[in-house]
């Protein structure tokens, strides 16, 4: 399959490098400024997986069709980034790996049923243009509506892929883990281990996880709240979040509203609301 990746941050670079190493053609779609600084090679740094360097071509506008268009930009930049996708991209499966939930309606208005709900679990952080540090052994994608060819490409690239029937389930299951982690690490100004040293903040984080589960259930996505809390508690202390890194780097706008908005709009969530207040005070 021919793959294009809109967004050359940590997730986009890690995915592009993995697919290219497996022999699949990949094109990066980048901003002009990033493309000008990009050497044409994705360099992956990883103490756990080993480093690698793979040549991957880049364009600032995609004007030829592909089989799979991956969207890995930050949610606040999605609408402007889509201007880099030309009308020739007419048959591609469109797979957003964005945080939050609201992007699905926007994308379906443009691409129709070709949009697949997707979620990725990976710890990858971009450095200089074309450089990514892959901090985890794992990389896994959950997709709703994908075909076996797409799944096979991911597996060949060393990325686990789970297929699901319900798009809402895919997005809410990611948000259940992401929201408490992202907000708490942003407030703590450090990874999960720093959060755990603060009893009150840990209590807010666990409370937020339960509240997201309740809102998900109200939207027809039943979740085992106890299992979700256990999954959060089992994460290693070094676990960080892109929201916390963005705040530390001065990135604006952040994804705070993207992550917390779906919960605050649709349910009573006092722990989430308090974490949002504290995150804003920390600069988010």
My answer on whether omega of the bond before 253 falls inside 30° of 0, hence cis, is: yes
pLDDT given for residue 136 in this prediction: 81
CA angle 283, 242, 197 (to 5 degrees): 70
- Look up the pTM and report it: 0.96
Domains delineated in the chain: 3-165 (3.40.50.720), 169-281 (1.10.1040.10)
Q: How far is CA 55 from CA 1, 23, 51, 156, in A?
A: 17, 11, 14, 18
Q: Could you tell me where the beta strands, DSSP code E, fall in 117-253?
A: 117-121, 124-126, 131-134, 140-144, 160-164
Distance CA(185)–CA(7), nearest Å, equals 24
Residue 83, pLDDT score: 97
pLDDT of residue 170: 96
Q: Is residue 69 within 8 Å of residue 93, measured between CB atoms?
A: yes
Percent of the chain predicted with pLDDT > 90: 94
Total residues belonging to the chain: 284
**Smallest Cα–Cα separation from 37: which of 126, 153, 135?**
126
- pLDDT attached to residue 166: 95
Mean pLDDT in residue range 190-212? 98
Instruction: List residues bridging with 238 in a β-sheet.
Output: none
Per-residue pLDDT tens for 36-80? 999 999 999 998 778 899 999 999 999 999 999 999 999 999 999
Distances (CA, A) of 133 to 11, 128, 136, 184, 243: 10, 10, 9, 23, 17
Q: Residue 137 pLDDT > 80, yes or no?
A: no
């Amino acid at each position: 399959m021919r793959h294009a990746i809109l967004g050359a941050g940590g997730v986009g670079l890690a995915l592009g490098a993995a697919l290219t190493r497996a022999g699949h053609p990949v094109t990066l779609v980048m901003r002009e400024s990033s493309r000008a600084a990009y050497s044409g090679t994705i360099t992956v740094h990883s103490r756990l997986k080993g480093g690698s360097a793979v040549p991957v071509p880049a364009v600032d506008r995609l004007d030829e069709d592909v089989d799979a268009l991956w969207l890995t930009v930050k949610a606040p930049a999605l609408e402007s980034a889509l201007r880099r996708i030309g009308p020739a991209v007419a048959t591609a499966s469109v797979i957003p790996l964005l945080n939050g939930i609201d992007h699905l309606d926007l994308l379906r208005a443009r691409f129709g049923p070709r949009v697949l709900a997707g979620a990725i679990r990976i710890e990858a952080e971009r450095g200089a243009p074309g450089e990514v540090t892959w901090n985890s052994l794992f990389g896994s994608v959950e997709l709703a509506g994908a075909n076996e060819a797409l799944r096979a490409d991911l597996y060949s690239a060393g990325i686990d892929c789970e297929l699901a029937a319900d798009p809402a389930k895919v997005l809410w299951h990611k948000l259940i883990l992401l929201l408490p982690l992202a907000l708490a690490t942003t407030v703590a100004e450090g990874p999960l281990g720093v959060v755990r040293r603060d009893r009150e903040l840990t209590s807010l984080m666990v409370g937020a996880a339960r509240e997201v589960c309740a809102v998900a259930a109200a939207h027809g996505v039943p979740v085992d709240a106890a299992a979700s809390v256990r999954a959060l508690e089992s994460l290693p202390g070094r676990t960080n979040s892109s929201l916390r890194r963005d705040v530390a780097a001065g990135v604006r706008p952040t994804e705070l509203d993207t992550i917390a908005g779906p919960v605050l709009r649709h349910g009573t969530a006092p722990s989430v609301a308090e974490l949002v207040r504290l995150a804003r005070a920390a600069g988010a």
